Structure 1
Amino acid sequence: MLAAFVPIWALTVVGYVAGRTGVLGFGAVDVLGRFVFYVAMPAALLDTLTRRPITGLAGEGVAAFVGATLIVGAVGFGVARWGFRRSLGEQTIAAMAAGYVNAGNLGIPVAVQVLGDASFIAVVLLIQTTILTPVILGTLDLARQEHGTKGRWRRLATVPLRSPVMLACLAGVGLGAAGVALPPLVAGVVALLGDAAVPSALVALGLSLVRTDGADQVPGRPVEVALSVLLKSCVQPVVCLLLARFVFGLHGAALFAAVLCSALPTAQNTFVFARAYGVDGRFPRDAVVASTAASMVTLTVTAALLG
């Protein structure tokens, strides 16, 4: 456990300290984040999936993960709708905060470091990008009521195909399933870039936890944030555990992978989508930060109990 998690949290702390001290300069989180998203993370996925094709580990475990995501997301949506009387856009963001995991910046490093295999989290990325993201963006677009915007639905439909992480997942799954290996020279370059993905993503995650826009003085919605973090960090992994164990009969590595990925914190895309569609960004911002901090405990506890 120490060997698996200490590097993860240590690199996140390094990023946080670098952000607080400003040694990497203004805008470092954006630059490093773009490097991870557009270069290093796709390379890591392509390298992993071509060398280790997706196996049965990602079958019923993914079904349990998706079931828990939908159940907890629906609860988050209902709490925002009937409990706090929020608008449709805020209800959508609340559902996303409760169930949409950080499969990229934190999920891949955790999968590689703890599970030793990124195939399960790659399937999660595929599902979130190809199915959940278009549904979320479509609902947010509907909530904004910008009818008649030219090309809106075409842009929504092509969201997955404009994601380098998504394209790398598709290419890696296809090549791995066909048993096609990358040429040695290409594989060497891809592997070198992929090696930078985990440390860069964790440092970027730490940088993102530093608020530089005066947001610390802006009052949030503490009760809603607390409920969202409870749903994301505690309820979702428990629901996934119950589904995986008693509905799908999973145990061992398959059970561990599904529950561990369910315990990941809220994705930063929650805040990004909220800002892009004119929804109050304070709630998703605080939910991302609080759930990321809570995941240091929940991920470690999950690994201790099931690893």
Structure 2
Amino acid sequence: MPSLHPLLSGFAPIWALTGVGYVVGRTGLLGPHAEVVLNRFVFHVAMPAALFLMIARTPLDRFANPSMLAFAAGTAVATGLGLFVGRRLFRRKPGESAIGAMASGYVNSANLGIPVTMQVIGDASFVAPVVLFQILLVTPVVLAVLDGGAAGRRALLTLPARNPILLATALGAVFSATGMHLPAELNRSCELLGGAGVPTALITLGISLHNRPPAEGRSRRAEVGLTVAIKTLVQPLAALAVAGPLLHLPAHQLLTVVLFSALPTAQNVYTYAREYGQGAVLARDAVLWSTLASMATLSVISWALGPK
């Protein structure tokens, strides 16, 4: 079993930046509207730049392989179960249920996927197809539900042009398919903007901890607990069932698929929830608690499926 220190090294920046955000919120350093303004910066500026470059630089055929089939199956099971929990068990509105579904199956592939898989298996190449799958397939569906609830069905026709995340995704896909490249100066500008997205999102998440409601109730705590359990236990087990007994993937690929499926909820989910005012508390708590729980589940997976 790999030592705990290499795995913890991937989580340390997340906790550190979230802690910085909490201190910023508690001291009021950036004023009372810091959470809203920073979240809008991430959603409308930094994240679109990062997603555009990531997709533009990645061949679109990267996610057409058996490993991605297993990962997608695990994601489908987790998001479907998360949707059921929100709609049927807790009677949430469609937008809140969509965030709950996303929190149940949308993994932190780039932030944690790269350091964790590099430490455990020495190969982070699976990050690219996972990112493509989540950005090109999962994100548009969730944002369509959120935008439809906020602006009505007719507005969905113009959603790609109005939503910066989807617009950046579409442009990135065009650049990837055609082999086009930005001029060096614009490319560097996008890199600088995109690089600000993750740390700003984590600081915003930390600020939200200081602004959390004084009482959330048993129902909300139960919903968060179920969401975290689906994310950290059900999703990797579903991926394991497909990758092993059904697809008979080699040991190396099996470990990779299950590791990625066990990664915690991405902070992007909180960014989307906060921007649309739907399920932000659930998203925030799912990110935090799944990140904590995944330190244990990732260690167990590494020990159980890793090289002996």
TM-score, shorter chain, exceeding 0.5: yes
Q: 1:19 maps to what in 2?
A: 25
Distance 1:112 1:295, change over 3 A: same
- Report if the CA contact (8 A) 1:37-1:164 is conserved: yes
In the alignment, is residue 30 of structure 1 matched against residue 36 of structure 2?
Answer: yes
Distance 1:113 1:178, change over 3 A: farther
Normalised by the size of structure 2, how large is the TM-score?
A: 0.73
In the alignment, is residue 97 of structure 1 matched against residue 100 of structure 2?
Answer: yes
CA deviations on 1:79-132 (whole Å, 9 max, x unpaired) are 5666x4x54x4587457524545859x554335655475552233022123334
286, 289, 297: which one aligns with 2:285: 289
| TM alignment of 1:114-263, pairs within 5 A | 114=116, 115=124, 117-134=127-144, 152-212=152-212, 215-221=213-219, 222-250=221-249, 252=252, 256=256, 259-260=259-260, 263=263
Normalised by the size of structure 1, how large is the TM-score?
A: 0.74
Number of residues paired by the alignment?
A: 285
Provide the C-alpha distance between the structure 2 equivalents of 1:35 and 1:160, rounded to a whole number of angstroms.
19
Provide the C-alpha distance between the structure 2 equivalents of 1:203 and 1:52, rounded to a whole number of angstroms.
28
Distance 1:285 1:234, change over 3 A: same
Give, as a single letter, the amino acid of the residue that structure 1 aligns with 2:214.
D
Q: 1:145 maps to what in 2?
A: none
- Report if the CA contact (8 A) 2:102-2:142 is conserved: no
26, 47, 61: which one aligns with 1:41: 47
- Report if the CA contact (8 A) 2:161-2:167 is conserved: yes
Give, as a single letter, the amino acid of the residue that structure 2 aligns with 1:268.
Y
CA deviations on 1:166-222 (whole Å, 9 max, x unpaired) are 22122222212322221112112112212222222222222233325xx12342413
- Report if the CA contact (8 A) 1:45-1:118 is conserved: no
CA deviations on 1:249-296 (whole Å, 9 max, x unpaired) are 4454686367425533273378559956xxxx6xx7246414522323
Provide the C-alpha distance between the structure 2 equivalents of 1:129 and 1:12, rounded to a whole number of angstroms.
24
Distance 1:235 1:35, change over 3 A: same
| TM alignment of 1:46-65, pairs within 5 A | 46-57=52-63, 59-65=65-71
- Report if the CA contact (8 A) 2:236-2:259 is conserved: yes
Q: 1:72 maps to what in 2?
A: 78
Give, as a single letter, the amino acid of the residue that structure 1 aligns with 2:10.
A
Provide the C-alpha distance between the structure 2 equivalents of 1:60 and 1:206, rounded to a whole number of angstroms.
38
Provide the C-alpha distance between the structure 1 equivalents of 2:113 and 2:203, rounded to a whole number of angstroms.
17
Distance 1:37 1:245, change over 3 A: farther
In the alignment, is residue 7 of structure 1 matched against residue 17 of structure 2?
Answer: no
Q: 2:121 maps to what in 1?
A: none
Deviation at 1:298, TM superposition (A): 0.7
- Report if the CA contact (8 A) 2:147-2:159 is conserved: no
Provide the C-alpha distance between the structure 2 equivalents of 1:29 and 1:228, rounded to a whole number of angstroms.
24
Mind listing any 5+ residue stretches in structure 1 that lack a counterpart? Answer: 142-150
- Report if the CA contact (8 A) 1:16-1:208 is conserved: yes
Distance 1:11 1:300, change over 3 A: farther
CA deviations on 1:206-243 (whole Å, 9 max, x unpaired) are 2233325xx12342413343223212232122212322
Provide the C-alpha distance between the structure 2 equivalents of 1:290 and 1:175, rounded to a whole number of angstroms.
34
Q: 1:268 maps to what in 2?
A: 270
Deviation at 1:76, TM superposition (A): 4.0
Deviates more, 1:293-302 or 1:91-100: 91-100
Give, as a single letter, the amino acid of the residue that structure 2 aligns with 1:243.
V
CA deviations on 1:50-81 (whole Å, 9 max, x unpaired) are 33434535644443333223323433454566
Give, as a single letter, the amino acid of the residue that structure 1 aligns with 2:27.
T
